[in-house]
Amino acid sequence: MTDKPALELLIAAPRGFCAGVDRAIRIVELAIEKHGAPVFVRHEIVHNKFVVDSLKAKGAVFVEELDEVPDGAPVVFSAHGVPKSVPANAEARGLEYLDATCPLVSRVHRQAERLVAAGRHILFIGHAGHPEVIGTFGQVPEGSMTLIEDVADAEALQPTDPGNLAFLTQTTLSVDDTAEVVGVLQRRFPAMQAPRGEDICYATSNRQAAVKAIAGACDAVLIIGAPNSSNSVRLVEVAEREGVRAMLIQRAADLDWAFLEGIGTLGVSAGASAPELLVRELVDLLSTRYDVTEREEETTRETVAFKLPRALDAAA
């Protein structure tokens, strides 16, 4: 018998690393193996402090801009994508670079290029200042895209040529919120062209659906992820939208024990840039104060994998 209070954990699946994050981290690791340390990385490779610190320990040096990279040093671009000017500047300096942009983000970039080439003005649904948004805007000439952050922006928009619009979205948005914004835009601009397929990536959609599936059976939900990770923040919002208290933490050590008072069933998930190690770390910590039982709730099985850049294939 134990005198610890009982706590049931409903652990959402899928959770944690997606194929794009796996690929980006592997690119940095293989670049270090190939070139030796240091390998420079422009921006956080993915939005997770644990991952970034782990790569620093292996020899990665993270910088904000290319001018911080010394001549002759190898550099990796983050999974969020970069404006076209960044690889152009790298080439002009003779820098050897590897592009770790998630292939699903690259697909949005190519769609943006095609739409602009066809004479369409793009309404891009996303969050101002997010690296993915900056990278996508940097694929096309200035003025050919307009950022739409929410329903209010969609209602207020007054385009100069309303019959010649298309929309694209950031890959890590809330599925429900985005559907609402798209609905407003389609009502106002029925001729607007939709993207080929869904821009919100499979991992973002799957993790949101998994949290939604467990939320109703939980007294509260904990999401492991970084505050600057768009997809992690969206998971908190999904749980709250289902009427459940939710909190985002980066590591188990950040847990506010008061959040768990009166909780019998706790939902747990992790954003697409948070490793499974951090989920296990949280379960271990909870077990020090509670008699924990775990149940994984899987809503779908992910089998996506992305190829590495050709330059690293031999190193893999």
- Nearest residue to 172 (alpha-carbon basis) of 109, 232, 112: 232
Confidence at 312, pLDDT banded by 50, 70, 90: confident
No. of helices (H) and no. of strands (E), the chain = 11, 12
The confidence score (pLDDT) of residue 316 equals 52
The confidence score (pLDDT) of residue 3 equals 87
- Nearest residue to 107 (alpha-carbon basis) of 118, 115, 119: 115
The confidence score (pLDDT) of residue 60 equals 98
Residue 132 a catalytic site member: yes
* Stretch(es) of the chain classified as CATH 3.40.1010.20: 6-17+202-298, 104-188
| Statement: 104-188 belongs to CATH 3.40.1010.20 | yes
Reported as half-sphere exposure (CB side, CA atoms, 13 A), residue 100 has a value of 27
Arch. (CATH architecture) of 19-102: 3-Layer(aba) Sandwich (3.40)
Confidence at 1, pLDDT banded by 50, 70, 90: low
Size of the chain, expressed as the number of residues it contains: 316
- 3 or 266, greater pLDDT: 266
Mean pLDDT score, 116-122: 97
pLDDT in tens, 167-186: 999 999 999 999 999 999 99
pLDDT in tens, 66-82: 999 999 999 999 999 99
- Nearest residue to 67 (alpha-carbon basis) of 39, 86, 52: 86
Q: Is position 273 annotated in a ligand binding site? A: yes
Bridge partners, residue 146, by sequence = 123
Question: 6-17+202-298: what fold?
Answer: Cobalt-precorrin-4 Transmethylase; domain 1 (3.40.1010)
Q: Please answer whether residues 276 and 16 qualify as being in contact, where contact means their C-beta atoms are separated by less than 8 angstroms.
A: yes
Q: How many angstroms separate the CA atoms of 276 and 256, rounded?
A: 20
Residue with the two structure tokens 């059976």: 217
The confidence score (pLDDT) of residue 307 equals 94
Q: Is position 130 annotated in a ligand binding site? A: yes
Q: Is position 218 annotated in a ligand binding site? A: no
Q: How many angstroms separate the CA atoms of 225 and 50, rounded?
A: 10
Considering the chain, what percentage of its residues have pLDDT values greater than 90?
Answer: 95
Q: What is the mean pLDDT of the chain?
A: 96
Active-site residue (options: 8, 29, 44, 132): 132
> Does residue 221 register a pLDDT over 70?
yes
The confidence score (pLDDT) of residue 144 equals 97
pTM exceeds 0.85 for this model: yes
The confidence score (pLDDT) of residue 74 equals 95
Confidence at 314, pLDDT banded by 50, 70, 90: low
Q: Is position 127 annotated in a ligand binding site? A: no
Q: Is position 201 annotated in a ligand binding site? A: yes
User: What DSSP line would sit under 254-291, residue for residue?
Assistant: G--GGGGTT-SEEEEEE-TTS-HHHHHHHHHHHTTTSE
